[in-house]
Amino acid sequence: MIEAAKVSNATIVDSTFHHFSSLGVSGVVVIKESHLSIHTWPEYKYAAVDIFTCGNNINPWDAFNYPKTILEAGSVSVMEISRGKEQRLRLFAK
């Protein structure tokens, strides 16, 4: 996830990862533009990756594609949600 932040042009602030004694890892990379996180369940060959970004200098799709490639994902499910003032105006406009 650190490398995903780098290839997406994000500004890394901090990171922390917990490796479970049995299997898996959970971690977050705090970036100036928000954060990237991962939670893995190797026993199920499953990983959940969240990429939250803002601004125009970062490419969240680069951050998405890096772990997808490294983990050799056989299939992916993606949900893109726009956030911010413009989105709220559309959601609450009558």
Catalytic residue among 15, 26, 34, 37: 34
Which one from 39, 75, 77, 82 is the annotated catalytic residue?
39
The alpha carbon torsion through 67, 6, 15, 65 (nearest 10 deg) reads -20
Strand ranges of the sheet holding 25-31, from the earlier edge strand across to the other edge: 12-19, 25-31, 34-41, 46-52
- Concerning whether 22 is annotated as a catalytic residue, the answer is no
Active site residue 35: no
The question of whether 82 is a catalytic residue gets the answer no
Please identify every residue annotated as catalytic.
Answer: 34, 39, 54
